[in-house]
Structure 1
Amino acid sequence: MSEENIPSTRGAVDLSALANQGPQATDSAASAAASWTTNLDEAAFQQFVGLSQSVPAIVSLGSPRVQVSADLDAVLRKLVDAKGGKFVLGLVDAETYPQIAQAFQAQQIPMVVALVKGQPVPLFQGPAAEEQISQLFTQLEQLAVQQGLTGTIPPFSGTATDTEPPLPPLHQKAVDAIDAGDYAAAEAAYLEALNEKPNDHEAQVGVYQVRLLSRTQNLDLNKARDLAAQNPEDLGAQLDVADLDVIGGHVEDAFARLVLLISKLADDDRERVRRRLIELYAVVGNTDPRVAASRQKLARVLF
Structure 2
Amino acid sequence: MSAAEKEAVQTFRAEVVEPSMTKLVIIDFWAEWCGPCKALTPVLEKVAADYADKGVVLAKVDTDKNQFIAAQFQIRSIPTVYAMFQGQLVADLTSARTESQLKAMLDQLLRQLPIEGEAQAQEAELEPLIAMGEEVLAAGDATRALAIFDQLAEMAPDHPAVASGRIRALVAAGQAEEAEAAVAALPPELAKLPEVERARASLELARSAPAVDDLAPLEAAVARDAGDLQARYDLANAHMAAGDRDAAADGFLAIVAAERDWNDGQARQQLLKLFDVVGLEDPWVSAQRRRLSAILFG
Category of TM-score, reference length = shorter chain: 0.3 to 0.5
Say which structure is richer in helix: 2
Point out which structure has higher relative CO (alpha carbons under 8 A, 6+ apart).
1
Q: Which has more radius of gyration?
A: 2
TM-score between the two structures when normalised by the length of structure 2: 0.42
